[in-house]
Amino acid sequence: MAVRKVVITLPEELYAIVERAREVEQRTRSEVVQEALRTYFGEPVYVPSDEERRALALTLDEVAEAPARTRDWDRVRADLHAER
């Protein structure tokens, strides 16, 4: 698949959201932005449940408070599914 490189400017708050998601999900900045664009343009993408979103928000807060204590996203999801 051919790719093109683009440069974009983001407000500080959007950049922070991208960075936090990237760290927690262990994805590249490009992957996070690509998924956002796919969602915007209506391509099917994985949509987390409300419970998964809450777990992600808690994890993002933990990363902000103590980056050395980051948890792997697969582990967070496994823990969430184990609670059901």
List, for residues 60-83, the tens digit of each pLDDT value.
888 788 877 776 778 877 887 787
Give dist(CA 73, CA 63) in Å, integer.
Answer: 12
pTM for the structure as a whole = 0.52
The predicted model gives 16-25 an average pLDDT of: 90
- From the list 36, 44, 48, 41, the residue with the least C-alpha distance to 8 is 36
Residue 29 has pLDDT above 70, yes or no: yes
Domain ranges of the chain: 12-82
The predicted model gives 47-71 an average pLDDT of: 81
CA dihedral 69→74→76→50, nearest 10 degrees, is: 130
User: What is the structure's pLDDT at 73?
Assistant: 74
User: What is the structure's pLDDT at 14?
Assistant: 93
Q: Name all contacts of 5-10 with Cβ < 8 Å and 24+ positions apart.
A: 8/33
Residues 24/60, Cβ–Cβ less than 8 Å: yes
User: What is the structure's pLDDT at 4?
Assistant: 93
